[in-house]
Amino acid sequence: MNDAAIGIFDSGMGGLTVMRALMARLPNERFLYLGDTARLPYGTKSADTVTRYAVQAAAALVRRRIKLLVVACNTASGVALPALHEAFAPLAVIDVIVPGAQAALAASPSGPIAVIATEGTVTAGAYPRAIHALAPGIAVSQQACPLFVPLAEEGLVDGEIVELVAHRYLDGLLAAKPTCLVLGCTHYPALKTVIGRIAGDGVTLVDSAATAAMAVEQRLRDDELGTQATAPSHRFLVTDAPDRFARVGQIFLGRPIDPATVELVDLQ
């Protein structure tokens, strides 16, 4: 299995920020990414629906022979992990919430910590639970930002519209003077310029991509699943609009995506 791909899935393009960090940290590995673009966003859907979608997405990756699964969706990480572990054991499953909590505490050991995320992640209380499991006394506040995902998916990552929406979500949260702001959705790093400008220099922005990449590297080492490939190939699966995925996805991945590497799939 050493030369098999690492599978990654997200509701859309946001998980490409995690893939970007993984590619930087693990340049010899192959990656197979699935974006469930037809059913985006996950953050406004019920936990049962997100769990069903997550299992379907993971199954599509498993059928294509992967050696490790990365859940690059905070909403799915918050509600679907037990079902994924049960359905695909003994496959290793790495989520983004625990690494995000670890990164937040590294940036702000005594808090307070603020979290922006999808409605589903906020409702599930995933980040406060993960942070308090590591540091019970830390103050954690949350804010759902449902419009951030469609803005990012449209490639609207700066400008007046994004600025107005960001102020609407962030102003009240920032009034509590957090020292750390967790970008609790893998789409949100695409809006980092605007979010950082509004948050100001005194607030450290944290996303889980780099920490998740470290967790994947450690698991590959522990399980002796690393590869020595010198020219790894990467492929992408989407459930809708492959041409658009290739065009807009480069904003998240930080490099061009060859449309020939993007395949349309049906998860039903």
Q: Active-site residue numbers?
A: 73, 185
Tokens representing 217 are 């590297």
